[in-house]
Chain A
Amino acid sequence: MTQSAREEEWANWLRLAIKGDAQAYSRFLFAVTPYLRAMARRRCSLYGAPLSEAEDVVQEVLLAIHLKRGTWDPARPLGPWLTTLVRNKLIDSLRRRGRQKNVPIDDVSDFLEAADETNEAADRIDTETMLARLKEPQRDIVRSISIEGEGIRETAARLKMTEVAVRVALHRALKSLAALYRSE
């Protein structure tokens, strides 16, 4: 697939996602991740960051895309927005983890053409450690949706909460996770 066709496809998924289409959003995130992974791995050595942290960098960038997706104007092309956001967060994350603090900001406009690395590395911070730092009911909700694969509705029913309350708590949990990465 050409770069522009791919960009258009991703943009369509993200447009649907913003309107609340979880499936399209999931497709978008799964499509972007291998590219992020390739970039993160390649740059870990450049910044003197341990390669074992590459997957944490990927997750941190994914969380940034998630929490800041409201800054994309769906009437504009996705490429420049995504490239800039990813570059800023990637560099921020790598500088924090690496020993080389002063690597010049390189161009990541090759983001959309980067190699596709699908195989997932071991995540360094295991789920329980991460969950332990969340408060209830966020922790319960995160566990139920991500690990047990429940939907919002089932989770709400089990925890005797409204769906809205579950959604709010889930959004806060994702913000907390991003903050945990930042403060690490």
Chain B
Amino acid sequence: MKTDDLITLMAQDAPTGLRYGRALALALGVGIAVSVVLLVATVGIRHNMASVFETARVLFKIAVTFMLAVLAARLAVRIGRPGAETRGPALLLAVPALMVAAAVAAELFVLPADAWPASLVGRNALFCVFFVPVLSLAPLAGLFWALKKGAPENPTFAGATAGLAAGAIAVAVYAWHCPDDSPLFLATWYTIAIAVVTVAGALAGRRWLRW
């Protein structure tokens, strides 16, 4: 095919459909909404949330997961845009990680050693590791749908970033149900759950985010 003919063809297809930025906003909005509805409709928000909300551990859990979700989503938004800066947003992810590390250190300092295992295992560890990936499905599907319109430099890395963002959104939603408040629990089980979604995202990205 002649290049000039190809250009003629492309020029007739000039108007863009749904632009990438709007697709991402839509995907995140719908994905988060589905995730929240799923939580509320099944296991529900923790029954005593109003009374425990102001305790330091609960407040920390809600705040740090929310922060991680915002920062990871911000990185995922940039990953599909050629030429967009990603190093800064990626480095910022260290902030919630360091906060959790500091909280773990504080928890170990405050709690007697014989209370550590109970705090670590919590009451609902297995359910957490099962339900967080379930809650991440809608945001992950949405992010992949939007990233298909994007042009990520490295499909595997883009998929992993989408997984991280979806996992972080899922724990930020799950935190409103989760009865386990110890930073030891967060650092272990939330991390495992997010890692599962991130790895799944990387594998899916390698396959579906090529362009």
Contacts and interface: CB of A to CB of B under 8 A. Distances in A.
Contacts of B20: 70-71
Interface in A13-34: 17-26, 29-30, 33
B4 A120 contact: yes
Contact of B14 (A22, A30, A88): A22
Contact of B18 (A20, A70, A83, A152): A70
Given A18-B16, A88-B151, A120-B2, A62 B211 contact: no
Contacts of B4: 30, 120
B42 interface: no
Q: Which among B16, B17, B149 has the greatest number of chain A C-beta atoms within 10 A?
A: B16
Nearest to A20: B15
A70 B16 contact: yes
Q: Is the interface of A mostly helix, strand, loop or mixed?
A: helix
B81 interface: yes
B112 interface: no
A64 B211 contact: yes
Chain A interface size, under 10 / 10 to 19 / 20 to 34 / 35 or more: 35 or more
A18 B17 CA distance: 9
A68 B151 contact: yes
B11 A29 contact: yes
A51 B40 CA distance: 61
A83 B153 CA distance: 12
A80 interface: yes
Interface stretch (A2-10, A42-50, A124-132): A124-132
B12 A152 contact: yes
Q: Name the residue among A19, A63, A85 with the largest chain B CB count within 10 angstroms.
A: A85
Contacts of B18: 70
Given A26-B8, A70-B18, A145-B8, A123 B1 contact: yes
Contacts of B9: 142, 145-146, 170, 173-174
Contact of A68 (B6, B14, B15, B82): B82
Contacts of A82: 82-83
Contact of A127 (B5, B14, B83): B5
B207 to A, nearest CB: 14
Contacts of A182: 210
B10 interface: yes
Given A33-B7, A125-B1, A147-B5, 8 more contacts: A22-B12, A25-B11, A55-B3, A70-B17, A73-B81, A81-B81, A81-B82, A151-B12
7 contacts: A26-B7, A59-B1, A62-B10, A84-B82, A84-B153, A120-B3, A145-B8
Q: Which 6 A-B pairs have the closest CB atoms?
A: A80-B83, A20-B15, A84-B82, A26-B11, A146-B5, A84-B83
